[in-house]
A and B are shown apart, each in its own frame.
Chain A
């Protein structure tokens, strides 16, 4: 199973706010930056959030990330149909000396 723990699914109606959690440990989230990736159906994963809460150019400000201790979260405000995708959190793990990922959360827009 994945090193980082995410809920398998989340959902909301258009315009709502959805939050996805990501739980880790002191060797990963607790001591390193968290990154979030979005994978739309049939496409390659895309960097959504870097360094806990920074957005790459082109990512709408509806997406925001935060981190506290050994947990992180991704919030999507003003949910839109095009946000239906799988979302993955990731962080460097000092014990592994490599990146680890969450199992992914499938977001459904009702």
Chain B
């Protein structure tokens, strides 16, 4: 059974870069698509972007200029970097496995990690 676990700092200062890693266990990362999704307090879910195991990426246009998603198949991990953060980037960040594109088909999710942007 595939499990995902997010890790990274829970507090990031404004203008700095948010960095999170998702570790995949119980299965290989060398297939499917791997996504990052976030939920700001009191708001709905927002897709950030995904990466295919080959390295191909696709980002939400609203965040594209600040987002980088990378993958390390040797460690079964993929990562998110979001630059120049502001308070509006405060959210619970989830990593998820996306079965197929184009479809909103996420069959495994991490527990989520709260990232607060504050000085």
Binding site for B on A (CB under 8 A): 1-2, 32-35, 37, 43-47, 50-51, 56, 88, 90-92, 94, 96-104
Contact = CB atoms under 8 A, between A and B. Distances in A.
A101 B47 contact: yes
A101 B111 contact: no
A44 B47 contact: no
A99 B104 contact: yes
Contacts of B102: 32, 92, 94, 97
Contacts of B50: 98
B44 A102 contact: yes
Determine the interface band of chain B, counting residues with CB < 8 A from chain A.
Answer: 20 to 34
Contacts of A104: 44-45
Interface in B74-119: 94, 96, 98, 101-107, 109-112
B58 interface: yes
A99 B110 CA distance: 18
A62 B116 CA distance: 38
Interface of B: 35, 37, 43-47, 49-50, 58-61, 94, 96, 98, 101-107, 109-112
23 contacts: A32-B103, A33-B105, A35-B106, A43-B111, A45-B45, A45-B94, A45-B96, A45-B109, A50-B107, A56-B107, A88-B45, A92-B101, A94-B102, A96-B60, A96-B61, A97-B58, A99-B47, A99-B98, A99-B103, A101-B46, A101-B47, A101-B104, A102-B44
A65 to B, nearest CB: 13
A32 B105 CA distance: 11
Contacts of B43: 2, 103
A37 B106 contact: yes
Given A32-B104, A91-B104, A97-B61, 20 more contacts: A2-B44, A32-B102, A32-B103, A34-B104, A35-B103, A43-B111, A44-B109, A45-B45, A47-B106, A47-B107, A51-B103, A88-B44, A90-B45, A92-B102, A96-B61, A98-B47, A98-B49, A98-B60, A101-B37, A101-B46
